[in-house]
Chains A and B, each alone.
Chain A
Amino acid sequence: MPERKPRTLFDKIWDAHVVETLPDGTALLYIDLHLTHEVTTPQAFDGLRAAGRRVRRPDATLAVVDHNIATDESRRTGITDPESRLQVETLERNVREFGVPYIPLLDERQGIVHVIGPELGRSLPGMTIVCGDSHTSTHGAMGALAFGIGTSEVEHVLATQTLLQKPARNMRVLVEGNLAFGCTAKDIILAIIGRIGTAGGTGHVIEYAGDAIRALDMAGRMTVCNMSIEAGARAGMIAPDETTFEYIRRTPLGPKGEAFERALAWWRTLPSDPGARFDREVRLAAHEIAPQVTWGTNPEAVLPITGTVPDPEEEPDEAKRAQMRRMLEYMGLTPGQRLTDLKVDVVFIGSCTNSRIEDIRAAAAIVKGRKVAEGVRAMVVPGSGLVKKQAEAEGLDRILREAGFEWREAGCSMCLGMNPDKLRPGQRSASTSNRNFEGRQGPGGRTHLVSPAMAAAAAIAGHFVDVRDYQPREALA
């Protein structure tokens, strides 16, 4: 038998899911798991209904509400916003009519679609996973090929369990060495985006590798993969290893017993072969990554916390200079201002990027025994009902509440400004979410993206601070 060409993790998953290749090279790609939510599906189910089609694999489909629901107690007495209510009711009608498994709003497993997929054990290594949501890249942390799709493609997957896709190019981002004290997965991914830019990964699937990636827990890996789309890559992935397998063993719906052993044998074959070819490779030294803060209106506009607001007049490219001026005006910043001098009005710890138990532990460790600064509104929104329950079992909610944080129910919350949790015009936020676009957290809102520890420290200080000066004593021991 001829020796097989070394393949990447992406190549292997891709090859295992090609149903057919069309004459022009487009593949009909089989989809193993289709996650759905209320915002990007109503028009897709309508399309099925109009064409008299059914959902091909309800068992490979899972629906949950997360985007436009309230995250306070009001959810228990019904959704007040009539449009949001209609969208949720529409999803509920559709899942009943088409037989799709559904996690209702008041179920304790409800949560952000990209938190619950891995947490429940539905997102597994080697799978193809899609969802009508660009942050589907999160599930790549499991060693899966996971990417966001539009509503027409949602309909296509519901009807056929496949997608028409051209293969992506392979890119590897190596983060070598060890992260320095106080630095996290969020700082890694922000530093990567700062390096390669918001379109740096366009047309590629990014595989994250290197010691610093291997050392991350699953929550950290999800944070990294989550923001792949912010670098333009539809998918990011990390080779499955013992950390992944241990995580899956503890999930309620992951394969058990013999099925687990069988699955494990296949999962162990997935990591990229030695000598596999990447179309592009980028290297970062982990120890050079400092805690990051974005200053502009896309995630590429990021600096170490020790930095100062850049001066557009020093930018040689005219188009970039104009964009920087516009960003500074929108963000209400002056060149030369120290990032640590920026006062915050709102602190949001949550979103599919940073709302897992590990993120909440990191925030609570900073906050313990301290108080939120006067005039700052600070909130923690767990990613799922199960994360919330776990945090409460550990007493983290008490630490956060005593410090003055709001402790909320699971949902997308202030990440995207489509539910009651929004910034008011001009308010400045320290946010653990993924997008600092103009108006993302509410019209006129000014978003700075940071890690959970950095957000928690900003809540206490009332302005951005270098979290390395704020770490709890026990972490130093």
Chain B
Amino acid sequence: MKPFTTLTGIAAPLPRANVDTDQIIPARFLKAITRAGFGRHLFANFRYREDGSENPDFVLNQEPYRRAEILIAFENFGCGSSREHAPWALLDFGIRCVIAPSFADIFHNNCFKNGILPVKLPREVCERLMEDARMGGNARLTVDLERQVVVRPNGEEIPFEVDPLRRHLLLNGLDDIGQTLQHAAAIDAFEAKQRAAQPWLYA
């Protein structure tokens, strides 16, 4: 996993609440068996018209947002299905940070596993960042995970909270299976105890 330290880039405004994972990537595109290539299907139902051509009204089809690395949205971002294809599609498009007032739990988890930073900020702050984002290429945002601040184009720094363990894993690009396997002896011991007490759980 690519570490996330500091990101400075164009932010795309998506002023909607309840952006669900079926919007982020519709189920008909979930048939691939690798993690690559989902970016072209990101927000497919909004980005493309029925004949397959680009919908010029959708933000990610407009300059400079085709190069957006940050997405600003409203409440309950990523609700619905557990599909990790949603963060894969964001990442493959080039988005490494989503800022919103709240996130759905599973999507929030999935972001951290893929080097994407979800930043929770109050609605009124998101509205101000949305205004910044509307200024396009003249208004780059900086997201600094080390210092836990979002820096607005006017230099104002907005602090954000992030779980310390997740921050550590993200800053260092660590895969957590390796970490967990360091506890293999504890897992063995748990299984031995459970197998004795609840043998019906073991074949």
Contacts and interface: CB of A to CB of B under 8 A. Distances in A.
Interface of A: 19-20, 22, 24, 26, 28, 30, 32, 39-40, 42-43, 46-47, 51, 53, 56, 59-60, 67-68, 81, 83-84, 86-87, 90, 124, 127, 132-134, 136, 148-153, 155-156, 159-162, 164, 166, 198-199, 202-203, 229, 232, 234, 255, 259-260, 262-263, 266, 298, 319, 323, 416-418, 425, 435, 437-440, 443-444
B20 A298 contact: yes
A28 B183 contact: yes
Nearest to A48: B177
A60 B27 CA distance: 28
A109 B18 CA distance: 36
Nearest to B27: A418
Contacts of B80: 134, 229, 435, 437
Contacts of B180: 28, 156, 159-160, 162, 164
A19 B187 contact: yes
7 contacts: A19-B183, A28-B180, A43-B84, A56-B187, A323-B17, A437-B22, A443-B50
Interface string B64-94: 0000000000111001111110010000000
Interface stretch (B3-11, B98-106, B143-151): B98-106
A4 B78 CA distance: 39
Contact of B33 (A86, A148, A156): A86
Contacts of B113: 150, 152-153
A266 B198 CA distance: 9
Contacts of A81: 31
A203 B45 CA distance: 29
Contact of A199 (B45, B75, B84, B199): B75
B142 interface: no
Given A155-B177, A234-B105, A87 B31 contact: yes
B199 A259 contact: yes
B105 A202 contact: yes
B165 A199 contact: no
Contacts of A60: 201-203
A148 B22 contact: no
B194 interface: yes
A43 B83 CA distance: 12
Nearest to A28: B183
Contacts of A32: 201
A136 B105 CA distance: 14
A156 B177 contact: yes
Nearest to A204: B105
B109 interface: yes
B177 A51 contact: yes
A232 B45 contact: no
Pick the 6 closest A-B CB pairs, nearest first.
Answer: A59-B203, A152-B113, A418-B27, A42-B33, A150-B84, A150-B110
Residue of B16, B18, B163, B194 most packed against chain A (CB within 10 A): B18
Nearest to B164: A24
Interface residues on B, range: 35 or more
A56 B191 CA distance: 11
Interface string B155-197: 0000000011100000000001100110110110011001000
Contacts of B165: 22, 24, 26, 164
A425 B181 CA distance: 48
B76 A40 contact: no
A438 B44 CA distance: 12
A234 B103 CA distance: 12
Contacts of B81: 133-134, 416, 435
A152 B22 contact: no
A40 B31 CA distance: 9
A85 to B, nearest CB: 9
Given A149-B82, A439-B45, A202 B22 contact: no
A440 B22 contact: yes
Contacts of A47: 177
Contact of A202 (B102, B110, B164, B187): B102
A153 B76 contact: no
Nearest to A416: B27
B181 A159 contact: yes
A323 to B, nearest CB: 6
B61 interface: no
A26 B166 CA distance: 10
A198 B200 CA distance: 37
Given A43-B84, A232-B104, 6 more contacts: A40-B82, A40-B83, A46-B33, A202-B104, A417-B27, A443-B26
B55 interface: no
A148 B20 contact: no
Nearest to A91: B33
Given A198-B79, A298-B20, A319-B74, A53 B202 contact: no
B201 A127 contact: yes
A260 B200 CA distance: 8
Contact of B34 (A46, A132, A148, A155): A46
A150 B176 contact: no
Contacts of B186: 19-20, 28
A418 B35 contact: no
Given A19-B190, A232-B79, A156 B176 contact: yes
Contacts of A160: 177, 180-181, 184, 187
Given A30-B190, A266-B198, A439 B23 contact: yes
Contacts of B33: 42-43, 46, 86-87, 90
B187 A86 contact: no
B35 A20 contact: no
A193 to B, nearest CB: 12
Nearest to B23: A438
A245 to B, nearest CB: 14
B53 to A, nearest CB: 14
A56 B20 CA distance: 33
B30 interface: yes
A81 B28 CA distance: 12
B31 to A, nearest CB: 4
Given A24-B164, A152-B84, A255-B200, A417 B104 contact: no
Nearest to B76: A199
Nearest to B165: A24
